[in-house]
Amino acid sequence: MATSAQPLMIDRDESTLAFNARVLDMARREDIPLLERLRYLCIVSSNLDEFFEVRVALHLHQIGNTSELAPYSQLSFERISRAAHLLVDQQYRLFNEELMPVLKKQGLQLITHDERNTAQHKWVKQYFDREVRPLLTPVSLDPAHPFPMVANKSLNFIVRLTGKDAFGRENDIAIVKVPRSLPRVIRLPASVSGKAICMVSLSSVIRSHLTDLFPDRVVGQFSQFRVTRDSELLVDEEDAKNLRTALRHGLEHRQFGVPVRLEVSSECSEYLSHFLLQQFKLPDAALYRVAGPVNLVRLNQMIDLINMPQLVFPAHQACYPRQLQEGESLFKQIRKNDILIHQPFESFSSVLDFLKEAVNDPKVLAIKQTIYRTGSDSALMDLLREAVLRGKEVTAVVEIKARFDEEANINWAERLESIGAQVVYGVVGLKTHAKMMLVTRREAGKLVRYAHLSTGNYNVRTARLYTDISVLTMNPEITADMEQVFTQLASQTRISHLNHLWLAPFKLQEQLIDMVDKISKACAQGKPGRIILKMNSLTDEKLARHLVQAGQRGVDIDLIVRGACILPAQVPGFTDRIKVRSIIGRFLEHSRIFYFRSGDKEDLYLSSADWMNRNMMRRIEVAWPVLDPDLRQRIVDECLVAYLHDNTDAWVLQVDGSYQRARSPVASRSLRAQTELMKRYSRKA
- Checking if the pLDDT of 181 tops 60, the result is yes
Catalytic residue positions? 433
Kindly indicate the confidence band of residue 152, based on its pLDDT and cuts at 50, 70 and 90.
very high
- Checking if the pLDDT of 595 tops 50, the result is yes
Name the region of 107 (left: φ>0; alpha: ψ -120 to 50; beta: rest).
left
Cβ atoms of 650 and 661 within 8 Å: the answer is: yes
Q: Which residue, 526, 593, 588, 524, is CA-closest to 558? A: 593
324-328, 476-480, 666-670: least confidently modelled range: 666-670
Kindly indicate the confidence band of residue 240, based on its pLDDT and cuts at 50, 70 and 90.
very low
- Checking if the pLDDT of 268 tops 50, the result is yes
**CATH fold for domain 503-682:** Endonuclease; Chain A (3.30.870)
Q: Which one of 3.30.365.10, 3.30.360.10, 3.30.870.10, 1.10.3720.10 gives the CATH number of domain 330-499?
A: 3.30.870.10
Q: What is the pLDDT of residues 551-594, one digit of tens each?
A: 999 999 999 999 999 999 999 989 999 999 999 999 999 999 99
- The residue among 74 and 245 whose pLDDT is bigger is 74
Per-residue pLDDT at 376? 63
Kindly indicate the confidence band of residue 666, based on its pLDDT and cuts at 50, 70 and 90.
low
- Checking if the pLDDT of 405 tops 70, the result is no
Q: What is the pLDDT of residues 414-458, one digit of tens each?
A: 888 888 888 888 777 788 899 999 999 999 999 999 999 999 999
Q: Please name the amino acid found at residue 259.
A: P
**CATH fold for domain 12-311:** polyphosphate kinase like (3.30.1840)
Q: Please name the amino acid found at residue 617.
A: M
Q: Please name the amino acid found at residue 260.
A: V
Per-residue pLDDT at 23? 98
Q: Which residue, 489, 454, 491, is CA-closest to 472? A: 454
Residues of the chain with CATH 3.30.870.10: 330-499, 503-682
Per-residue pLDDT at 685? 40
Q: In angstroms, what CA-CA distances link 328 with 318, 451, 475?
A: 19, 18, 20
Cβ atoms of 569 and 654 within 8 Å: the answer is: yes
Q: How far apart are the first and last CA of the chain?
A: 58
Kindly indicate the confidence band of residue 3, based on its pLDDT and cuts at 50, 70 and 90.
very low
- Rounded Cα distance between 515 and 213, Å, is 67
Per-residue pLDDT at 73? 86
- Rounded Cα distance between 292 and 612, Å, is 36
Contacts of 356 (CB under 8 A, 6+ apart): 383
- Rounded Cα distance between 280 and 40, Å, is 30
The mean per-residue pLDDT over the stretch 359-380 comes to 88
Per-residue pLDDT at 6? 55
Q: Which residue, 594, 319, 592, is CA-closest to 457? A: 592
Per-residue pLDDT at 71? 79
Kindly indicate the confidence band of residue 232, based on its pLDDT and cuts at 50, 70 and 90.
confident
- Residue spans of alpha helices (H) in 222-378: 243-254, 270-280, 300-304, 330-336, 349-360
DSSP annotation of 648 reads S
φ and ψ at residue 378, rounded to 5 degrees: -125, 115
The mean per-residue pLDDT over the stretch 590-603 comes to 96
Helices (H) and strands (E) in the chain, counts: 23, 27
- Checking if the pLDDT of 158 tops 90, the result is yes
The mean per-residue pLDDT over the stretch 138-160 comes to 91
Q: Round the average pLDDT of the chain to a whole number and report it.
A: 91
- Rounded Cα distance between 56 and 40, Å, is 22
pTM of the model: 0.92
Contacts of 654 (CB under 8 A, 6+ apart): 569, 570, 660
Helix (H, G, I), strand (E, B) or coil at 254: helix
**133 pairs with which residues across the strands?**
none
The mean per-residue pLDDT over the stretch 376-398 comes to 89
